[in-house]
Structure 1
């Protein structure tokens, strides 16, 4: 079974809502076209670059079977909430972006890079935490190819 692990530096970014624009053709007709917001597009590009490098480090073979994905998003404590005497410990993070949007952005970005299509993801685990005070923002991603023996 193959596996890929990588860390995305920086604050987690969720998948943004699709934006719409009207496009006019040369013959005067117009139609609506949907596109990804720039922030989501840039984040997906970062995920693809780092995931491709991580895949190369472990052999470079795109996963073709069922996959299990674990995503751990960490958002650092804001400086305004730091404490001198008792530094902030690890705790759950309930702020934006939503956990499902974080997962959607990362899963979509890994399609065609780590695995053939995100329909291969059969098990998904996502966490949002605030790391202990002083640790930076990051997202840890683990992808494992699973088999029928892994069913529980």
Structure 2
């Protein structure tokens, strides 16, 4: 079974919703046309690129997994500085759940898109996910990707 392990440093970023902008263009005949452009928010693009770089380093030039993949993802959020020392310690030891934004599934989406084509040939290969979100002194995301032995359908 092939496996890679890596961390993405810094505060985890959720996959942002696609944005769009429109402009009206007037042709030579006076007819108006509306052009709509869809784009990914810049913070999402930067985070996905950071994920891609961490994944490329972990893969060390190996080919992307082409069989089913199991992901284990641990999201570690920064502990709010505004909290009392006692509350911060409870968060650090796991006695306070990380129920604030970002949503774990939206961080997972950004991770999966950043690893696409690097760790696995396509994120459709992901069959199993273990996902947890906690507070930590050092914000980051830890990822373990394992290629499973069964054949892809």
TM-score (norm 1): 0.85
Match of 1:130 among 135, 138, 147: 135
- Superposed displacement of residue 9, structure 1: 0.8
**Looking at CA atoms only, which structure, 1 or 2, has the larger radius of gyration?**
2
Match of 1:118 among 120, 123, 129: 123
Q: Identify unmatched segments of 5+ residues in structure 2.
A: none
CA-atom RMSD in angstroms? 2.3
- Superposed displacement of residue 124, structure 1: 1.1
Instruction: Tell me the number of residue pairs that the alignment of Structure 1 and Structure 2 aligns.
Output: 144
Matched residue, 1:145: 147
Bigger shift: residues 22-31 or 42-51:
22-31
Structure 1's consecutive aligned runs of 4 or more residues displaced over 4 angstroms after TM superposition are 23-28
- Superposed displacement of residue 84, structure 1: 6.0
Matched residue, 1:32: 36
- Superposed displacement of residue 21, structure 1: 1.4
Q: Identify unmatched segments of 5+ residues in structure 1.
A: none
Counterpart Cα distance in 2 of 1:104 and 1:40: 10
